[in-house]
Homo-oligomer: A and B are copies of this chain.
Amino acid sequence: MADHSAPPACKYFNLTYPLPFVAHVEINRPDKMNAFKEEMWHELPPLFTHLSTSPSTRAIILSGAGPKAFTTGLDVQEASQNSILGPNPDQSRPVPDGARTATRLRRHVDAFQACISSIERCEKPVVAAIHGWCLGLGVDISVCCDVRICARETRFAVKEVDIGLAADIGTLSRLPKVVRSGSWVKDVCLSARDFGAEEAEKVGFVSWVGKNGGKEEVVKEALRWAEVVVGKSPVAVQGTKEVLNWSWNRSVEDGLRYTSVWNSAMLQSEDTREAMMSGITKRKPRFAKL
A residues neighboring B (CB under 8 Å): 1-2, 53, 76, 80, 85, 96-103, 105-111, 113, 117, 120, 125, 143, 146-149, 160-168, 170, 172-174, 176-187, 189-193, 203-208, 225, 228-229, 232-233, 235-244, 246-253, 255-276, 279, 287-290
Contacts and interface: CB of A to CB of B under 8 A. Distances in A.
B204 A259 contact: no
Given A80-B276, A252-B249, A166 B101 contact: no
Contacts of A102: 98, 264-266, 268
B274 A164 contact: yes
B240 A166 contact: yes
Nearest to A289: B100
Given A190-B125, A244-B172, A258-B258, A183 B206 contact: yes
B249 A99 contact: no
B173 A256 contact: yes
A61 to B, nearest CB: 13
A106 B268 CA distance: 11
Given A172-B243, A180-B203, A264-B265, 12 more contacts: A102-B264, A103-B264, A110-B257, A160-B240, A163-B272, A164-B274, A165-B233, A173-B259, A181-B205, A246-B257, A258-B261, A261-B265
B204 A99 contact: no
Q: Closest 10 A-B residue pairs measured CB to CB? A: A98-B268, A181-B204, A178-B182, A173-B255, A99-B269, A166-B239, A102-B265, A164-B271, A265-B265, A180-B180
A85 B225 CA distance: 29
B53 A164 contact: no
**Copies per assembly:** 6
B186 A125 contact: yes
Contacts of A255: 172-174
A253 B252 contact: no
Given A105-B263, A179-B181, A225-B187, A235 B164 contact: yes
Contacts of A147: 183, 186-187, 190
Given A53-B107, A204-B203, A164 B251 contact: no
A160 B262 CA distance: 15
Nearest to A55: B100
Contacts of A270: 97
B260 A109 contact: yes
A164 B193 CA distance: 43
